[in-house]
């Protein structure tokens, strides 16, 4: 005869197996949707990818244009915006995790960071246009776009840094103090190396978000490129891949607009996949060094 305890254990095991199967189904559904999404874009855009498309200048009226300056501008703008945002975001995250305590200062800074993170990109775009394009006289340029993108990146990097530092085991921190290390030495030599994987993941996700941003760059970096290639001047217009994708599909003057759009979308997907692969490789390298 089955005892009550046996029945309870049986039901618990059944519930556990059911939940396990449901979660597996959810995960497989997510992977399937992602594969269909990425596969559809690559299937449509892959035939357009060739050396000429990746290395030639775009055309405004004729067919056969490329995306060389847009690809360069996308990577260039993301790199500059991260260079601007990383010191501020990591520094703010360190302060909130290690120095602000649990009082009003932490709540105030967290409110500021969360407010900036929740600000719609179109609002940041208008702010960047008013401040950098008009008031500072930078016009539609790479530097206007990069500084405005940095405003988008800072709150994400700050929150990722704070959460990664708070996840560092207290035993490591106390052991460092026990060996005579100062607070700054503990942060630099113990906490940050341990939290590097989480911070790096956040930075790559931030870079992917900035890479696909269009609203901010339409209002600050412009919808055209320099007539020279490559052109690394910060004062020239900096149309990116996402802006170019929007422009060719909405303008309607290019006879091969659909092919250009498909190829541009495929390139963006491939770049994002490479970024995610890169973070996985760096994650493994960091874990091996910190073992």
Q: Which domain holds residue 216?
A: 51-290
- Per-residue HEC secondary structure of 28-51 comes to HHHHHHHHHHHHHHHHHHHHHCCH
How is residue 35 written in tokens?
A: 């594969």
**Exposure pattern of 243-255 as b/e (b: 16+ CB <10 Å)?**
bbbbbbeeeeebe
Strand partners, 225: 238
Residue 129 and residue 36 share a domain:
no
Residue 72 and residue 10 share a domain:
no
Residue 71 and residue 44 share a domain:
no
Residue 134 and residue 28 share a domain:
no
Residue 133 and residue 18 share a domain:
no
* pLDDT for res 267: 92
Considering the entire predicted model, what is its pTM?
A: 0.85
Q: How many domains does the chain have?
A: 2
- What counts of helices (H) and strands (E) characterise the chain? 12, 0
What does the alpha-carbon distance between residue 209 and residue 204 come to, in Å, rounded to a whole number? 9
ω before 230 within 30° of 0 (cis)? yes
* pLDDT for res 2: 54
Residue 61 and residue 36 share a domain:
no
* pLDDT for res 4: 65
* pLDDT for res 290: 59
What does the alpha-carbon distance between residue 31 and residue 44 come to, in Å, rounded to a whole number? 20
* pLDDT for res 266: 92
Cα 120 to chain centroid distance, Å, stands at: 16
* pLDDT for res 6: 65
Tell me the pLDDT of the chain (291 aa) as tens digits.
456 666 677 777 888 888 889 999 999 999 999 899 889 988 888 888 888 899 888 887 777 788 999 999 999 999 999 999 999 999 999 999 888 878 788 888 888 888 988 889 999 999 999 999 999 999 999 999 999 999 999 999 999 999 999 988 888 888 888 888 888 888 888 888 888 888 888 888 888 888 988 889 999 998 888 888 888 999 999 899 999 988 888 876 778 888 898 999 999 999 888 888 877 777 777 667 656
Residue 72 and residue 38 share a domain:
no
* pLDDT for res 229: 87
The region, left, alpha or beta by phi > 0 then psi within -120 to 50, assigned to residue 250 is alpha
């Amino acid at each position: 005869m089955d005892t009550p305890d046996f029945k309870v254990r049986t039901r618990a095991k059944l519930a556990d197996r059911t939940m396990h199967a449901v979660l597996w189904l959810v995960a497989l559904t997510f992977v399937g949707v992602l594969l269909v999404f990425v596969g559809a874009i690559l299937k449509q855009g892959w035939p357009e990818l060739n050396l000429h498309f990746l290395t030639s200048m775009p055309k405004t009226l004729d067919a056969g244009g490329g995306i060389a300056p847009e690809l360069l501008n996308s990577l260039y703008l993301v790199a500059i915006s991260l260079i601007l945002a990383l010191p501020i975001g990591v520094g703010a995250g360190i302060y909130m995790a290690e120095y602000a305590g649990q009082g009003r200062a932490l709540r105030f800074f967290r409110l500021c960071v969360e407010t900036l993170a929740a600000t719609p990109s179109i609002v940041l775009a208008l702010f960047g246009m008013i401040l950098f394009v008009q008031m500072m006289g930078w016009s539609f340029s790479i530097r206007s776009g990069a500084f405005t993108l940095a405003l988008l990146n800072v709150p994400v990097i700050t929150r990722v840094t704070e959460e990664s530092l708070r996840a560092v085991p207290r035993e490591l921190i106390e052991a460092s103090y026990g060996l005579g290390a100062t607070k700054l030495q503990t942060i630099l030599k113990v906490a940050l190396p341990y939290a590097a994987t989480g911070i790096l993941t956040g930075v790559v996700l931030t870079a992917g978000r900035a890479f696909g941003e269009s609203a901010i760059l339409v209002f600050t970096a412009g919808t055209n490129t320099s007539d020279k290639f490559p052109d690394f001047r910060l004062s020239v217009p900096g149309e990116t891949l996402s802006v170019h994708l929007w422009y060719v599909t909405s303008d309607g003057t290019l006879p091969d607009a659909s092919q250009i759009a498909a190829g541009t979308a495929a390139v963006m997907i491939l770049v994002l996949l490479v970024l995610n692969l890169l973070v996985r490789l760096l994650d493994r390298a960091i874990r091996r060094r910190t073992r």
